[in-house]
Chains A and B, each alone.
Chain A
Amino acid sequence: MAWKDSRRSRSKLLLFTLSITIGIAALVAINSFKENLNYEINNQSKSLLGADLEVYSQQPFTEEQMSFIDSLGSTRSLQSRFSSMIYFPQTGGTRLIQVRTLEGDYPYYGEIETLPLSAATDFKTGAFALVDETLMMQYNANIGDPVKIGQLEFQIIGKLQSIPGQNSINTAVAPVVYIPHQYLVQTGLVERGSRVYYSYFFKTDQEIIEEEFDETYETRFEELALRYETVDKRKKNTSIAFNNTTVFLNMSAFIALLLGSIGVAGAVYSYLGEKRRSVAILRCLGLSGRQAFYIYFYQVLTMGLLGSLIGTTIGTGLQLFLPRLVEGLIPFSIQTRFYALVALEGVAIGMIVTVLFSLLPLLSILKISPLNSIRAEFESGGDDQKNLILKSSLFGVITLFLFSFSYLQIQELDQAAIFIGGLFVTFLILWLFSKGLIYLAKTMVSPKWSFLLRHGIANLHRPKNQTGLLIITVGMCTMLISIMYFSHHVLLDQITMAGSEERPNMVLFDIQSHQKPALETLVTDFDLPIVQDVPVVTMRLLEYNGITKKQASQDSTLEIPDWLYNREYRVTFRDSLISSETLTEGALHPYQANDSIFISIAEGFAERQEWELGDEIIFNVQGALMKTYIGSFRKIDWRRIQTNFLVLFPSGLLEEAPQFHVLVTKVKDNQQSATFQQAIVRQFPNISIIDLELVLKTIEEVLVKISFVIRFMALISVMTGLLVLINSIMLSKSQRVKDSVLLRTLGAKAKHIIAIITIEYLALGSIASLTGLITAHLLTWVLSVTLFDATYSIDYMSTVYIFIAVIIATLVMGLLNMRPVLREMPLTILRREN
């Protein structure tokens, strides 16, 4: 019976199945991909570090430190890394690179991949270098060519293809060059104040268990001012680095499923709409409401299962391609696997969505009275109490399901709450807007308007209008899809640099104080501007409000992370703000002799640490302790190319401290950039140069890749959204067609009918799209602040595009619906009784 009945309106059922299919496919694909990612992070965590343990310091190891290191194990390698310039004598090219010196058999897990293979070990036998493959390509270098690093010349022995734990973004910004450790001193690049990281990599006989290790050694490491990283720590950090990506993926999955759900409800609703008459007649013939309900429930269940299965299959297939999209963004390769649990979850969620979202319209079946066979328009009054209770409890269950789903997907309670809350608010706003529009249409229409305008607008409030349904579904889809685009924009905006052609494009750092006069002469010789010249002093945080690192790590309720004490603070001093800064709280206090020292902290950073004005911070400035108080917070636009600092000291204190300088300038073109860099490298081999043009270009390449992933997700949403739209509009198709045909028999021309429909759908489309966009902006703003930890910025282009696209899509669908009116003969349609 159930199947027999579905015969006539199978296209509607197909729409319904498609909604489920696409939603579940996206969900399964994303979740499988996430599983793959996690699996690889777990599986390859050892090769992320390349060893079981890394112990590092920014000073050469002391004797005391060495004896401790000896006690940790003997299978170890020594590496140092620092930024420097490389010079290709044959072509004259220079570029900032990361130099790594190596001694020992590192890596113990994973590989340094080189071409030829043997070069990975052979380079340690003499003055040889392994040079990043892309870098060699960029500078036309070949194996056997010489390169100069600092004061030494090395011969390229192999192309460096991959290093444990490095993705191609890292290496593109600062390409790596390996040289043997024994040449480190001879390069002349290690001077006091230059930032060199010295690491020992250990391979241990036994697996290191993070907690035990921490307990045993943490204090000792602290006493010795050494830092360390275990495999587990690296794993956590890697996962954190993917945080935004994961949030974004979760969001996409959530959105895909929601769109699918809306599709389900819409399709079932429209399917049943066509069936009302048949149900009424069947009920006249003696079918009970319950039986009628089950006929359709089984139909929907079968199609839902089919859709879920197909969706899961497609999703599983799709995930095979996802890793290819993110290649280069991730510091390891991803092997795709089939996750039975994810697939099972896909089918299960598909079925839950089917049941929950089809029940909503299905409940109305119970309500169809036999009277409906006599008078199609018969409405059996309002909901009776039983139905009302059923409906409200269903809404409750749906909300609960959405919440638990988002929680399971995101694993964070507050984020899930944001999603659900946002959804609820959007729904409410859309509902209010549709009510408002109906009211407006009712009261606004004036007899003075032209016939067509009057009818188009009146259609918005007339019986069986689509205003509520379309505004809510189209608005919801617009909102969901826009969020994808808007948050994409926000995320990208974090990395892209603001500013115009006028922005400076070259930063020189690690300038020693004694080099400054000579360097400034060189810059003026090249006729280049000194946009900024900033002194930098490095220091460490010793105590915050009297809390030492030891106390902080012992008392976890303080919630002060280790790294706050571990990191090196690069601080400058001045008594005024620069253009990328604005004061948000407090004031800059210039230093007065024998008075307290007031410093200024970057706002976002302080907020995250919950620092407040007046907090006391003691810094260790290269041996000298300085007690300071937070005197103000500054908001910093990090995207400006400026030298920005978390911590700002007043002048008059640090002038005599050991320091280096950063100089910002602007070169005119590539040619000038090259000659200028060569001159610097020759005269000041220790000074590093960042060519921002180059960095920007690299970042852009990466962004193209990320955009691709996001577009792919957005495409899925758009597809589901279109399905929902088709669905919603098809709902009233037969009604609208008949109305229009009657207009035609009364003498309306095609253009009249088209005009009326156009006006109606233009109004609907623009209101729905506008509402969806506004709520999307609101939600993206909330997401940016809460989840992405990013500054919100409006994506004007997408806003305009989406606005227009949604209106056009609505209009086109509405007009396509009217095709029968223009194609078929009026009598044929009039004969069709509904």
Chain B
Amino acid sequence: MSQILEVHKLSKTYQSGEKNLTVLDQISFSLEAGKSLAIVGPSGSGKTTLLGLCAGLDRIDTGSVSIAGHALDQLSEDQKAQVRNENVGFVFQNFQLIPTLTALENVMIPLELLGDKNALQEATALLDQVGLADRKNHYPSQLSGGEQQRVALARAFSNRPKILFADEPTGNLDEETGAKIEKLLFDLNRDKGTALVLVTHDIELAHKTDHLIRLKGGKVFESDLLSQTHAQS
């Protein structure tokens, strides 16, 4: 099966003042299309950084990342944006809805950027799927955390991505709501064949995925995934 995500010897160093802080150190792995992967690790171990790099939201220092065959480090910002628009969905730790747009408008954006003529209908259907059809004209500030996260999910799926990155999607939610969001995630993963990369502190959740990577101090501490190139060498 083809690899939707390939990460090879990826390193990231942040400069804070005069000190260099190596946040990610030579990370390599790859993920097959349609599979799910959990990334776990203590706070500050570099999970968000890794996810951001995979989605092209940050500059790669050394190593490479490719999504659906596009080597991100060789693309311009605009090209990365296009790759994201066509292939990637993203759910953030803190929802990151656009506060000046209604729930519906938030969900419509990726579709509109794709030039989808039926953006309105599709977005409405998606909101319906996450149970928020009646809240579509509300602004994020008028929604609860769980509701916002569901809108974020609907938005992440709206462009029918090949891969979805979710950064602690249930981290801010109570158990029940968290379980609902989880179910949504895995349902969408199964029904639409979207690969899923999930950052979580929840070990139980982590064990529901096909694969698991444990990060510690910016290094892969444990993994059942190896990048192909790594495996061959």
Contact = CB atoms under 8 A, between A and B. Distances in A.
Interface of A: 375-378, 447, 451, 459, 462-465, 735, 739, 742-752, 822, 825-828, 830-831, 833
Contacts of B48: 827, 831
B139 interface: yes
A691 B210 CA distance: 100
A464 B110 contact: no
Residue picked from B86, B96, B97, B98, most chain A C-beta under 10 Å: B98
B58 interface: yes
Contacts of A831: 48
B29 interface: no
B184 interface: no
B101 interface: yes
A830 B96 contact: yes
B84 A745 contact: yes
A447 B121 CA distance: 12
Contacts of A825: 57-59
B57 A462 contact: no
A377 B99 contact: yes
B77 interface: yes
B96 A747 contact: no
Interface string B21-64: 00000000000000000000000000011001001011100000
B113 A747 contact: yes
A125 to B, nearest CB: 88
Interface residues of B, number: 36
Contacts of B159: 747
A827 B57 contact: yes
B90 A451 contact: no
A828 B49 CA distance: 10
Listed from nearest, the 3 A-B pairs whose CB atoms lie closest are: A747-B85, A377-B141, A827-B52
B71 interface: no
Contacts of A746: 84-85, 90, 109-110, 113, 155
B137 to A, nearest CB: 12
Nearest to A751: B78
B55 to A, nearest CB: 7
Nearest to A736: B100
Interface in B155-178: 155, 159
Contacts of B52: 826-827
B112 interface: yes
B100 A747 contact: no
A463 B112 contact: no
Contact of A749 (B55, B82, B97, B114): B82
A748 B81 contact: yes
B188 to A, nearest CB: 17
A462 B102 CA distance: 9
Interface string B82-117: 101110101010101111110000000110111100
B98 A742 contact: yes
A375 B141 contact: yes
A745 B90 contact: yes
Given A451-B112, A746-B85, A828-B58, A463 B96 contact: no
A462 B78 contact: no
A733 to B, nearest CB: 14
Given A375-B141, A747-B81, A830 B86 contact: no
A739 B55 CA distance: 18
Nearest to B53: A827
Given A447-B120, A825-B58, A830-B92, A747 B99 contact: no
B100 A462 contact: yes
Interface of B: 48-49, 52, 55, 57-59, 77-78, 81-82, 84-86, 88, 90, 92, 94, 96-101, 109-110, 112-115, 120, 139-141, 155, 159
Nearest to A462: B100
Contact of A459 (B81, B84, B100): B100
Contacts of A739: 98-100
6 contacts: A377-B141, A463-B100, A739-B98, A746-B110, A748-B85, A751-B78
A746 B82 CA distance: 9
Contact of A830 (B57, B84, B99, B110): B57
Contacts of B101: 462
A826 B58 contact: yes
Given A746-B155, A830-B92, A833-B94, 7 more contacts: A447-B120, A739-B100, A742-B96, A747-B81, A747-B113, A825-B59, A831-B48
Contact of A743 (B59, B90, B109): B109
A684 to B, nearest CB: 82
Q: Which of A376, A378, A462, A745 has the most CB of B within 10 A?
A: A745
Nearest to A447: B120
B113 A752 contact: yes
Given A451-B113, A747-B81, A826 B57 contact: yes
Contact of A463 (B86, B110, B113, B139): B139
Given A739-B100, A827-B52, A749 B78 contact: yes
A747 B86 contact: yes
B89 to A, nearest CB: 9
A748 B88 CA distance: 13
With most chain B CB atoms within 10 A of its CB, the pick from A447, A743, A748 is: A748
A749 B98 CA distance: 17
A828 B16 CA distance: 13
A425 to B, nearest CB: 32
A498 B23 CA distance: 76
Contacts of A830: 57, 92, 96
A463 B139 CA distance: 9
Contacts of A464: 99-100
A827 B58 contact: yes
Contacts of B112: 451
A464 B140 CA distance: 13
B106 to A, nearest CB: 9
Contacts of B86: 747
A459 B100 CA distance: 8
B96 to A, nearest CB: 6
A373 to B, nearest CB: 14
A747 B84 contact: yes
A750 B78 contact: yes
Contacts of A828: 58
B12 to A, nearest CB: 10
Contacts of A459: 100
A830 B95 CA distance: 11
B73 to A, nearest CB: 13
B165 to A, nearest CB: 10
Nearest to A825: B58
Nearest to B105: A458
Contact of B57 (A451, A463, A745): A745
A747 B110 contact: yes
Nearest to A752: B113
Nearest to B155: A746
